[in-house]
Amino acid sequence: MSKLRGADILARALAVAGARDIFSLSGNHIMPVYDAALDAGLRITHVRHEGAAVHMADAWGRLTGEPGVALVTGGPGHANGVGALYTALAGESPLVMLSGHAPLNQLGRGAFQEMAQADIAAPSTKLSFTSSSAQSLGDDLARAIRIARSGRPGPVHLSLPQDLLDQLVEEGERFVPVRGAFHASAQLLSDAQAASVLAVLASAQRPLIIAGPQLASHRGAALCQQLRDATGIAVVCMESPRGIADPCLGAFGDVLPDADVIVLLGKQPDFTLKFAVPPAVNATCRFVVIDADIGALRRSIANLKAARVAASAVADAPEAVRALILAAKKSSFKTNTYKTAVEEAIAWRPAAWTNTKAHTTGVLHPLELGRAVQPLLDAADDPVFISDGGEIGQWAQACIRAETRIINGVAGSIGSAIPFALAARVARPNATIIAAMGDGTFGFHMAEFDTAARHNLPFVALIGNDSTWNAEYQIQLRTYGEARVHGCELAPGAAYEKVVAALGGHGERVTSAADLMPALTRAMASGKPACVNVMIERHAAPTVTRAND
């Protein structure tokens, strides 16, 4: 009887799970998996930093709803990837990080790159564990994928000891799980629970539904729109570290205190909601809390105080939305006037933004970037807009819209935009992909332009270059004063476009508004991974409120 390596079991299990696209950086411990990938038909996008591989798996999860897979080596490779897990955890993005690992039969003896990997990854994952036998590798992968996609989605880590990957087992035995083993059972909102939620909403004068990051995807947004239509109640999705001050939400903060009932749909009353206390939220506002995680549900009720919670339920957010839609269609809900007020506030932007320009020559105002990008996305058949964090990210999110959007998320991290864009191109081969970022952000993963060129993954990186870590510069300026601003400068007008060109991409430098649209058009037409490096003024991120208009 022929034999299989543990690596073959793992690779075949990945193929059965439908996870044929793997984001990886090679290393000693995982070379058996690279070899097994050939026979299993797995496609490897080989990156330049392990953190980029995890960010790509994160973006894959957000775009497709299926867990992305990052494959990294053990020890320092694993450590490099761990930092990116937190962004996925806060963003509720399903992914599995597979890490090579020192051989089990050498542990405790000073094995090469021996490390307590599962312990290191645990705080940033839903589950972190190490395989203990070659025969269980397929089942371990199925468990990791099930947990990553179940309930409130998120990252799972699985370490793969090298001796298990090399170990031979009898091929005739069933070690590769069937496809159903990779799927989790849904937690449903019952008809009675849905009716109870709607009864609370019907009793309100100014009801509001706030959804968490899981529903921020393209598919989630479509569900939220159906819920709006069925109930006549505004549904607001929050996925930004700026919370109710997210510029994408316009003047939402102006009307939130008027709500008298808020349904938290997979959304915790955390810092993004100012902990749901006055003045951000009215002290008399009642809540309905729906969460897939019983622990998170209990924390929410405790933090809100039980007297403010009119109803609660454990259910997956998408399933809860579907149940509420069905129940609402059987009721007589009509559009609430508060819905109009909320949606008008979210859409509101200062009138002055229409014509805002830079005060000096040779640079642009951040708003001028948005005014150039929006027509290109509007004209695209499949537009994907990606925004990193920082001040320029907030300006971009305030004034650039697309049917599909990926941002840095509640974690508030920066540096993920370039890997996000690469994963978007793998997932959406024909999309128009524009990623906005600052010059500080660009430095995190600029080498991934080499990855993009090698794998033919074109996209446009739009850099707002103000020669500084501007978010921190603005903190120093407003907190300590101009005389104590220091340590946040970057190279003046660095030629990042030349870096991209040297790595096989297309580069453009822009110093005037008139040149921006032509540069973006050429970048898109180049068919290469492209960088449009735009010199901009330093501006603090916008605070959108009608009180200042």
Q: pLDDT digit of tens for each residue in the chain (549 aa)?
A: 588 999 999 999 999 999 999 999 999 999 999 999 999 999 999 999 999 999 999 999 999 999 999 999 999 999 999 999 999 999 999 999 999 999 999 888 988 888 999 999 999 999 999 999 999 999 999 999 999 999 999 999 999 999 999 999 987 678 999 999 999 999 999 999 999 999 999 999 999 999 999 999 888 999 999 999 999 999 999 999 999 999 999 999 999 999 999 999 999 999 999 999 999 999 999 999 999 999 999 999 999 998 999 999 999 999 999 999 999 998 877 778 999 999 999 999 999 999 999 999 999 999 999 999 999 999 999 999 999 999 999 999 999 999 999 999 999 999 999 999 999 999 999 999 999 999 999 999 999 999 999 999 999 999 999 999 999 999 999 999 999 999 999 999 999 999 999 999 999 999 999 999 999 999 999 999 999 999 999 999 998 888 766
When computed from its CA atoms, the radius of gyration of the chain, rounded to whole angstroms, is 24
Q: How far is C-alpha 452 from the geometric centre of its chain's CA atoms?
A: 20
Q: Give me the helix-helix angle, 390-399 and 470-480, nearest 10°.
A: 100
Q: For the purposes of burial, counting CB atoms within 10 Å of the CB of 283, is it exposed (0-12), middle (13-18) or buried (19 or more)?
A: exposed
pTM as predicted: 0.96
Say how far apart CA 244 and CA 251 lie, in whole Å.
9
Q: Which tokens go with 167?
A: 């170990």
CA angle 529, 534, 536 (to 5 degrees): 150
